[in-house]
Each structure stands twice: as structure tokens, then as C-alpha cells.
Amino acid sequence: MQQLNQKQELAVKTTEGYVRVIAGAGAGKTRIIINRYIYLVNEIGVANRNILCITFTNNAANEMKKRISKEIKDIDVGYICTFHSLAARALREDIHCIGVAPNFTILDPEDQSQLFRKIYKKLNITNRDYHYADMREAIGKIKDDYPQYVRYLGKHNGIFFSNPTTIEEKFFNEYIEEQCENALLDYFDLISTYEYILVNFEVKRKKWQNRFQYVMCDEFNDVDARQFNILSILSGYHKNLMIVGDPDQTIYSWRGSDIRYIIEFRNMFPNVKDIVVNENYRSFPSILNIANSLIIHNTNRLEKDLIPVRENDKKVVFNSLRTASDEAEFIATTIEDLIKNGEEPESIAILYRNNNLSRVIEEKLIQKNIKYCVYSGIDFYSRKEIKDILSYMRFLLYEKDVDFERIINVPARGIGNKTVIFLKEFAEYNKCSLYQALKHCLMVKTIKNLEAENFINLIEKLKQEYKKMTILDLTNKIIKETGYQETLSKQEAQDRIENLDEFKHSILEYENSDFEEKTLSDYLDKISLYTNGDRNKKEKAVRLMTIHSAKGLEFKNVFICRINDGIIPSAKVSTPEGIEEERRLFYVAITRAEDNLYLTEIQKDYGSHTSKPSQFLREIEPSRFLLELDKKELEFFNESSEDRLKSFFSNSKSKVESVNMEFSTGDKVNHFLFGTGIVEDVDVQNKTYSIKFENLETLREISAHIKLEKI
């Protein structure tokens, strides 16, 4: 308790009932949760197994486990996990009640793509016709709209769409059938299936409600409807739920999170106790002051200011550059100087709104020989060589067709597509797995001379041995005895060999941890739920990432680039709610910085042109959010940067002041392009009208400076 300030201590000791902790960036949210867990166990006497602690990344959960395990002197720390990990663990116990075998396989995105390829071929469509990302979205929407789909994951439930009329519905029928036949769950299924069981099976619901006497949730501002419902149900018996979060950092509405759950928490539960923790231990005062001056422009929030604990008079640097190339040159040169002055590369982060903005920066870093890593692209556990070995492991456990198809010819055994098609036909006719089909067909002429028998002998041998082996020993045995290592050596694929070495190192860390289950099944479940946010952050390199990827991280030195209208905020956003989320996104970016923060924008870009001679350069404006920052906290890199912002501020102010609001709610108006519409709302502050046009399905925000004719 001596490490906690007064508000943090209050949050830790307020154990009973519904508690909402509004904790700002850098205010010690994780410290509160860890100490509260320790307090419940060591001081109150609550058993570990009766505490549920939810967080949003596996890394955060692991860090909590380590620190709590050390303090309570117990390697069993119960349920400290993500929503997906909780659901996976619970479903191993209870999924049988909807007819799914407990040895279900969790599909990661690569597994799902493999399944997509199979169904696309069956339906005679291609990725060009329907991109996988669009089909994933379509599947997610169907599952979201029809929660009862969960019943179709079990056997003998018939066809979901009895008369499918669209490609998406036809695909969904095939997809659900594959899931049902092979006991496959995707990420969406984990949460929705657990929620479905809690809602529809009273015995299961009471079991989990009784088990969790205390429920805590970190980053509550990021929960979606299903996650919120799960928390509500699990805490519904003992009625002890503490949520920790910051509504000013709600930036994931596009994937379902809803700011209303944290804003309106008081109205959803009885006798809620509110605690505001806003002392910031992360950032220098100028960084927090500009963050505060920005976020107060949002209306949908709980009022609070971040209060700096650290003292320093260093200001935030603002620089306006002519082009993206100039901006990248400034960033790379400044980083070069920081490293020369003793800063570690990994203490430096470059944040941007969209992934495509990194290219020109990467080029400059390469020119200056500055090592960097980009937090995007292929997740570590989705790289081919890692997935191959994981598929071998998973096949030993579950013998699923999805893994068989991946490993049967890896490394090459001369077993091509024709053989696999033959095996599929045999398996379908005889109602057996592909592996069983291969065993039955060893004497078939097209298979007899292949290395199929060696493959079967290897699998059978590993199935007999793996339970007596450590996971690391099994990994080494698979890599060696399949010929995988030899193949990579012949190909001189050094980067892939190094990835396997890093993979083995991660397994060693897992097996040496005190609080982890050590079975192969537990390990594979854990790995299947890892995301890009759980990457190894020890690499000594400058970090490049989108602002969304940076949430939850902190860096001594932060660059936020391309702070221009159309980027921050995005050109795709037009509603007041959307602009507020974009402002929260900028706020998140600012509050990642500890000591040094650099803000940059450019004056000209190439628009949408793909060929880029100089005549295509066009003027662009700084972000409107820059006008909201406390100017006295900014250090302008040069006079032209200061003049640029002052000029933009003056012009913007005069533009706004010169526009009169001529129309009122209910007025009927005509727009030269959109036609006739009704004014439904008038925003005086932002000088816009919300108009429902007769010929358009959605409400449109129209600036007051556009000429409208009153009808």
C-alpha cells in the first residue's frame, strides 16, 4: 500500500459492490488491479480460484500473473486472462452441452483462410470475386445478427439457411458445416458461444457465477456488447464488479467497443462507487497539458484532467514540413541525434494514423542505417515455418483435416493436390478423416510409392511419445525427424531458421514460467489466441506503428507524423461521434510519450495521383485538432512552423465567424447535388447542419458555408 497514492489505495480497498475506476493515461491502472488482487488474497482471504481478472492482451495478463504470483507466493493465480482466453478455458469444460466435442480446435486467421480456400473452390468462386476480408466481415455480421447460430456448431442441427439466396449465405452454410463436422471454432465463436451457454444453460451459468466472487476488468472502455453481457452475468450473483478504464481512450468503435458502457455504468448497476485516478506518472507536464487542452473539446466524456507528477519544463516540439519526404528526413535526423545522445532505439516510437504512411519514413531510416521494426504485417505465430510446426503439434492432439492438409506435404513428400483430392473423396464417401483415408489407401497405386507410409509411421511414433516429452523436446523432434530443418538448411533460409530458434526460445520461457499449465493442449490454446499486440518487444530497434497499435504502450520519445486534416481526423469520418473518436485517437497518441514529443505535419502532398511529378503537389491543411492544443506548451521548430499554425488559426477562425446559421431544425432545404431534405439538427459550434435527404439513406453533415435553398 505504501506504493499507492490516496486514490489508488481507495480503489484497492473498495472491494464490495459495483466500482467504477476512471483512471487516466499513465495513472497506474495495472498497479491498481494487481494490488487489489493481492489485497483480496493476502488481507481478506479470498481464494485465487474465486477471482476473475480480465485484461485485453496476453502480455498484460502474463505480466500481472508474474507480479501477483511473486507477492502471494502461489504459482496458481486462478483466472487472470483475456476475454478470449477465459472463453476458451470455460468452453473446454462446458461446450459439450451444445453438442461440440471438448477437443475443439481454435482457428487462427491463417487456418480460417485455409478453410476459405476449400469452400471457395467448392462454390466455384475466387478471392477476386469476394475478398477473404469481406467474407470474414459477412460471416461476422451473420453470426452477430443470429446468435442462435451457436446451436449449429454442434452435430445434427441441419442447414442454417434453408433457402440461401446470396453467395454469403451459401458460404455461411458451408462454413458452419465444416465447423460442425470438424469441431472448429473461430475467434468470434469463443465469446459468442460462452455468452450463449451462460444465457441459455442455468446450471452452467450458476456454476460460473458461484465460482467468481470478485470480477475485475481492465480497459473497460474497450468492451463490446457481448463482453459487457458476460461481465454482467458473471458478477450477477455475488454482485462484486470493479471496472477500470478511461472513456477518453475509447478508440475501437469500428470493432464493436461502445463508450456508453463506461459512461453510463452508474445507470446500469445499483449503488455504483466512483473513483477518479488522474495523477499521471508517465509524462512531463507540457505533454499532459496539451493532451488536456485537446480532449476537453469532446462532449461525450467524464470530466477529468491529467495531473502531472513528474516535473520538467521541456516543451512539445511542433514542426511543419513542406512534403512527406521532408517530414521523414526531419524524423530520421532527429532520431539519429537522439541515439547519438544516448537514447536506446527501442525507446523511440513513430506513430501514424494509417499503415501506408510508413513507407517514406522507412526509406529514410534505411538510408541512415537506423534499425527499426514495424508493428504490422504477419504476426510472428502466423509465419509459415511457425504455423507448420504448430500444425504438426495440433495434429498429434486432434487429428483435424485442417492440419492434415497443411502438413501432409511439408516438407515435400511428393503428395500433391491430386492425391489430396482423392483422399477427400474417399473420406467423404467413408465418413472418415483424411488421415484415416490415407491409412486405408496406402496400397492404392497413386499413393503406394509415395512417402505416405513414412509420414504415418512418424505421426504414430510421435503420438506414442509426446505425452512423456516436454513441449520443447517435441518441437525439436518434429523439426528434425520431419526433415524440416534439413530442408531450410538446403534452401539457405537463414531468416526462417532464426524464426524457429526464436520460437523454441519462447517455448522455453513458457515451460520455465511458474504459473502456466504445461500440457500441449494448454500451450496450443494460448498460442492460438496471440495477436500482433503480443509481439516480442525486446528488439533493439525504433518502433513504427499505427496509433491504434500503440494503445497501452509508452515510449520515452514519440513522433506523431502527418497531423493533417483528412488523416487526423480521417477523411472517412464526418459525424460528430466520429470526430470525437478521432480526437480521442490523437489524445491516445499524445499520452504515449514520457519525455519528448514531436508533432509534425506537411504542407503539400500528391493527392490520389499514382504518378507523382511535382505539378501534382497540392496544398493541404494542418489538422483542426492542432488548433485546440495549448500553444504555450509548444516549441516551434522554426519561425515558418509558427507562422503556418498562426495563419491557419486566423483563417479558420475568420471562416467560422463569417458563416451565419440561416436554418433551423425542421426546415426543408434543397442542396444542388443531394436534392430535397429536412434539417434534423443544427450544430452552432461546428457550423454544420444534420440533414436527412429524401434520395439518401443516411443522415449527412453539411457545412453552413455551402449554399442551401430554403423550400
Could you list the active site residues?
Answer: 29-30, 218-219, 249, 592
Rounded to whole angstroms, the Cα distance separating 579 from 460 reads 59
3-state secondary structure at position 131: coil
Amino acid residing at 609: H
* CA trace torsion 510, 511, 513, 519 (10° rounding): 90
Backbone φ and ψ for 305, nearest 5 degrees, come out as: -115, 140
156 Cβ neighbours under 8 A, 6+ residues apart: 99
Written as nine digits, the cell of 563 is 497531423
In our burial notation (b when 16+ CB lie closer than 10 A, e otherwise), range 465-479 reads ebeeeebbebbbbbb
**Could you identify the residue written with the cell 468503435?**
253
Q: Are 25 and 287 in contact (CB under 8 A)?
A: no
DSSP-assigned letter for residue 202: H
Partners of 542 in the β-ladder = 372
Written as nine digits, the cell of 55 is 485484461
Rounded to whole angstroms, the Cα distance separating 251 from 559 reads 19
- Give the 3-state DSSP-derived string for 337-406, with helices as H, strands as E and coil as C: HHHHCCCCHHHEEEEECCHHHHHHHHHHHHHCCCCEEECCCCCHHHCHHHHHHHHHHHHHHHCCHHHHHH
Give which of 164, 43, 154 is closest to 91, Cα–Cα.
154
Cα–Cα distances in Å, from 21 out to 176, 232, 501, 599?
Answer: 41, 17, 42, 31
Q: Are 406 and 114 in contact (CB under 8 A)?
A: yes
Q: Are 353 and 547 in contact (CB under 8 A)?
A: yes
DSSP-assigned letter for residue 566: B
Q: How many CA atoms lie within 13 A of 291 on its CB side?
A: 30
Q: Are 277 and 27 in contact (CB under 8 A)?
A: yes
